[in-house]
């Protein structure tokens, strides 16, 4: 009798645990997200591997702009495992239409398939598409925004027609750069009489404001830059530098949003065509890796 009572107590004690396990299994089977509490020593990549998802999907699902900045005790939601399919482009298809049909985003499809210009799809083209990676419909990106005081500085200079032909994007190569440090380097070390080589700098939140657009003296005075290895190109190319090393990490979400907004405003003011918004490595006469292998300009501009 005592043995049966003890067995009954053990079964009763195990019941909640079994119920929790069953609920967790059902949740994952139905595509619902689990929750994970970050422990000491864990990285986002290791957690993603444990649950069979990608680190980028995990970061995106939880609104984490910098995967290297997670805290012990932080709760993160694990997205349902995604399903990959192959889609054949048909006449009349658009990337946005295909993305909507497969519950994903245009930038995700473009990035996965190496598409630099979403407008150039061709019938018969095969696309790899990951469906339902977040377990929910993708949210529309917030409209690009520039604070009023910064916008007034961008709009203030008088620009003659045809003054600028290109917009060139750089990275600083160091995650801890400051405006003062960059100014000192260009003026004192590089001996540039006009100081800071760029017309604009976008901070990353370390020694500069995250996503803050700094308007340089070269833009205010409408003078040539010092950011490309060509005097002729510097004369007609607007330079934008994002603080960070994008060989090691991607720009922050605020940097991407500010870059998209800044490029749109500059194009509206100067008439520079979309195709002439270039990265340093794609326009520089000398070989360079700038702005880093993890920087995808078209993905940012088309998001």
Q: What is the pTM of this model?
A: 0.56
For residue 2, is pLDDT > 80?
no
Helix (H, G, I), strand (E, B) or coil at 7: helix
Structure tokens at 256: 């991407």
Per the model's pLDDT, the better-predicted residue between 290 and 22 turns out to be 290
Predicted local distance difference test score (pLDDT) of residue 20: 42
Predicted local distance difference test score (pLDDT) of residue 81: 61
Percent of the chain scored above 90 by pLDDT? 52
Q: How far is CA 43 from CA 53, 61, 171, 175, 204, in A?
A: 14, 16, 25, 20, 21
For residue 4, is pLDDT > 90?
no
Output the average pLDDT for the chain: 83
Predicted local distance difference test score (pLDDT) of residue 21: 44
pLDDT, tens digit (0-9, with 9 covering 90-100), for 114-166: 887 777 788 999 988 876 544 344 444 455 689 999 999 999 999 999 999 99
Q: Which of 116, 108, 118 is nearest to 79 (CA)?
A: 108
Ranges 67-71, 80-84, 144-148: which has the least confidence: 80-84
Domains and CATH numbers, the chain: 2-78 (3.10.350.10), 83-131 (3.10.350.10), 148-301 (3.40.80.10)
* Segment 251-272 mean pLDDT: 96
CB 276 within 8 A of CB 167: yes
Q: How far is CA 276 from CA 87, 166, 196, 202, 270, in A?
A: 31, 5, 23, 20, 12
Q: In sequence order, what are the residues at sequence separation of 6 or more whose Cβ sits closer than 8 angstroms to the Cβ of residue 158?
A: 222
Element (H, E) at 16: helix 2-29
């Amino acid at each position: 009798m005592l043995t049966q009572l003890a067995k009954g107590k053990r079964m009763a004690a195990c019941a909640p645990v079994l119920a929790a396990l069953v609920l967790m299994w059902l949740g994952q089977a139905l595509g619902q997200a689990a929750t994970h509490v970050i422990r000491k020593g864990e990285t986002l990549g290791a957690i993603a591997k444990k649950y069979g998802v990608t680190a980028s999907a995990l970061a995106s699902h939880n609104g984490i702009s910098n995967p290297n900045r997670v805290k012990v005790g932080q709760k993160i939601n694990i997205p349902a495992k995604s399903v990959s399919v192959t889609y054949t482009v048909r006449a009349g298809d658009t990337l946005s239409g295909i993305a909507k049909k497969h519950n994903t985003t245009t930038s995700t499809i473009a990035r996965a398939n190496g598409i630099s210009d979403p407008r150039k799809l061709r019938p018969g083209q095969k696309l790899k598409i990951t469906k339902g990676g977040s377990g929910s419909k993708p949210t529309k990106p917030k409209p690009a925004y520039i604070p009023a005081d910064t916008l007034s500085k961008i709009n203030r200079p008088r620009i003659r027609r045809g003054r600028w032909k290109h917009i060139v994007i750089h990275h600083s190569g160091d995650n801890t750069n400051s405006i003062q440090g960059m100014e000192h380097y260009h003026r004192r070390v590089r001996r540039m009489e006009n100081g800071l080589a760029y017309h604009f700098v976008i901070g990353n939140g370390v020694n500069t404001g995250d996503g803050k657009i700094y308007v340089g003296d070269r833009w205010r005075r409408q003078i040539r830059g010092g950011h490309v290895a060509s005097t002729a190109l510097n004369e007609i190319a607007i330079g934008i530098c994002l603080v960070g090393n994008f060989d090691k990490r991607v720009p922050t979400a605020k940097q991407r949003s500010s870059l998209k907004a800044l490029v749109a405003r500059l194009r509206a003011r100067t008439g520079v065509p979309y195709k002439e918004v270039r990265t340093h490595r794609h326009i520089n006469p000398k070989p360079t890796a700038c702005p880093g292998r993890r920087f995808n300009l078209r993905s940012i501009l088309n998001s």
